[in-house]
């Protein structure tokens, strides 16, 4: 009988261990839930103060220096969005412009605006 008692005890201990593990996991899940709630509140508090700074309020130096990170992040987002926009609608390649023209001050012929001499009469422009 002593042998069976031992096995019984062993089974009892094993069951208890399993139950404890389940209970422990259940409690850990609860802790994670509470932590998520806390994190969400921390985020809300952050957003509350960021909104204040956005509207011009000056807070403690440490907070303001963290806020710098938000500003530079927003700037980067703006740049990246612009980049995405340019991918959506590639800039129209400007049609090869006719070179600018001017009128020769001697003969009145149309010549390139950059020409130093008239190709028609040779007058310096």
Q: How far is the CB of 107 from Zn ion (least distance, A)?
A: 3
Task: Please name the residue that has the structure tokens 């509207």.
Answer: 55
Q: Classify the phi-psi angles of 124: left when phi > 0, otherwise alpha if psi is within -120 to 50, otherwise beta.
A: beta
11 binds Zn ion (CB under 5 A): no
121 binds Zn ion (CB under 5 A): yes
Q: Is 113 in the site for Zn ion (CB under 5 A)?
A: no
DSSP structural state of residue 102: E
Q: Rule CB under 5 A: choose which of 7, 107, 110, 117 binds Zn ion.
A: 107
Query: Is 13 or 107 the residue whose CB approaches Zn ion more closely?
Result: 107
103 near Zn ion (CB under 5 A): no
Of 4-12, 22-30, 70-78, 105-113: span binding Zn ion (CB under 5 A): 105-113
Report the residue number, 53 or 109, with the smaller CB distance to Zn ion. 109
Tokens of 63: 């907070």
The counts of H helices and E strands in the chain are 2, 2
Task: Please choose, out of 27-35, 40-48, 88-96, 106-114, the segment that lies near Zn ion by the rule CB under 5 A.
Answer: 106-114
Look at residues 98, 95, 102 and name the one whose alpha carbon lies nearest to residue 118.
102
Tokens 């605006």 belong to 113
Is residue 106 at the binding interface for Zn ion, with CB under 5 A as the rule?
A: yes
Question: What is the number of other CB atoms lying within 10 angstroms of the CB of residue 106?
Answer: 13
**How many whole angstroms separate alpha carbon 96 and alpha carbon 98?**
7
Question: Contact residues for Zn ion (CB under 5 A)?
Answer: 104, 106-107, 118, 120-121, 123
């Amino acid at each position: 009988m002593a042998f069976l008692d031992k096995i019984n005890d062993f089974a009892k201990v094993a069951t208890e261990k399993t139950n404890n593990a389940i209970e422990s996991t259940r409690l850990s899940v609860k802790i994670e839930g509470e932590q998520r709630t806390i994190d969400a509140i921390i985020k809300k508090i952050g957003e509350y103060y960021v909104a204040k700074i956005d509207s011009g309020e000056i807070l403690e130096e440490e907070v303001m220096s963290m806020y710098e990170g938000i500003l530079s992040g927003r700037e980067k987002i703006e740049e990246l969005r612009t980049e995405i926009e340019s991918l959506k609608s590639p800039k129209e390649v400007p049609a090869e412009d006719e070179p600018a023209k001017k009128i020769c001050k001697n003969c009145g012929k149309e010549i390139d605006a950059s020409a130093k001499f008239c190709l028609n009469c040779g007058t310096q422009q």
